[in-house]
Amino acid sequence: MVLAKHRLTPIIFEANSFGNGVDINLFHESGGTIFGRHVCMNMKKVSISFLLIVLLVLCSYFYLDARTAMFVNRVWMSHARLSVFSANIPNFLFSIVCLITIIAWTAYFYLTHKGIYNTHTRFFQLVAITIPLTYFLKSTLKHAIGRIDTRFWLRHPGFKEFHWFHGGGNYTSFPSGHMAVFMALVIALWRFYPRYRSAYFGFLSVLALALIMTNYHFISDVIAGAYLGFLVNYFTHLGLTFFSNRRMRTGEYDQKNESRQ
């Protein structure tokens, strides 16, 4: 029994670095009851945050989006060179997602093949799942909501703003895919490597400002994209933590039975 506990302890300690208030040790107490209560408390917070984000997006849509886009177009984008430059910026998001996913899965399988299960292993696992999943979900939402692109709306202000369930072409603005994907990545970095949180925050701030100041997105698109990335990371991490707990509890149970025999 002492040996079994010793073998499980390092894994439990590493898993605690997942953060977000989810302590793996809680799952081992009272058959997972405390863990379940803890998750319920976090779910209440997520529900409240979701309602606040919806309210913020609606306020931005009705009071900020159009005004900000027209202001940027009049003051910032009135410069011919800047306007042409921003309009011709290529969209490498899909390539970036593929590259990050390949690197993350390669690193994860390499570490697990070597028998290494630490912070880096869990980071690569989380990134390998959340980045392509976020990209898929943002693409699905873009098609379902079909909001008009900012620049296209500025050229054709009288056009219909939403093509529900027929998104595509000039109707792929909501939510921001760049903000969603990079938020999912930054949250993973924030969780496992907290030392550089100020740099992560700075990067996201610059990205959000760039998307708005180049009229690449409305403000509400950026807000929704950021929250989508957060949600995907949060629930993926929660699921990975749950299954990790379950495997450890199963292994601990098997070791107890072996020691009794």
Hey, what are 252's tokens?
Answer: 């601990």
Residues 73, 215: contact at Cβ < 8 Å?
A: yes
Residues 211, 176: contact at Cβ < 8 Å?
A: yes
Domain 2-260 indexed as CATH 3.30.70? no
pTM of the model: 0.82
Beta-bridge mates of residue 168: 171
pLDDT in tens, the chain (261 residues): 333 433 333 333 333 433 444 444 444 444 455 556 667 778 888 999 999 999 999 999 999 999 999 999 888 766 656 666 666 667 899 999 999 999 999 999 999 999 999 999 999 999 999 999 999 999 999 999 999 999 999 999 889 899 999 888 999 999 999 999 999 999 999 999 999 999 999 999 999 999 999 999 999 999 999 999 999 999 999 999 888 777 776 654 444 444 444
